Amino acid sequence: MKNLIVITGASSGIGRATAKKFSSEGYPLLLIARRLDAMLDLRLPNTLCKSVDVSDIPNLKSAVGAAEAEYGLVDLLVNNAGYMNLESTAIQSPIEWQKQFDVNCVGLLNMTSVIFPRMIERKGGTIVNIGSTAGKNTSEFHTAYNGTKFAVHAMTEALRREGQPHKVRVSLVAPGLTETDLSSGTNNLNILNDREEYKANIGGALNAETVAEAILFIYQQPHNVCIRDLTIAPTGQIA
Q: Which position among 71, 145, 198, 219 bears the catalytic label?
A: 145
Residue among 173, 156, 175 nearest 218 (CA)? 173
CATH number at residue 106: 3.40.50.720
Name the domain count of the chain.
Answer: 1
Do strands 29-33 and 4-8 pair parallel, antiparallel, or not at all (unpaired)? parallel
Does the residue 102 lie in any domain?
yes
Residue 8 within any structural domain of the chain: yes
Question: Is 216 a residue whose pLDDT tops 90?
Answer: yes
In a domain, 113, yes or no: yes
**Is 238 domain-assigned?**
no
Q: How confident is the model at residue 184 (pLDDT cuts 50, 70, 90)?
A: confident
Q: How far apart are CA 10 and CA 29, in angstroms?
A: 10
Per the annotation, the verdict on 83 as an active-site residue is: no
102 lies in which domain range? 4-232
Q: In the predicted model, is pLDDT for residue 208 greater than 90?
A: yes
Global pTM exceeds 0.85: yes
pLDDT, tens digit (0-9, with 9 covering 90-100), for 99-134 = 999 999 999 999 999 999 999 999 999 999 999 999
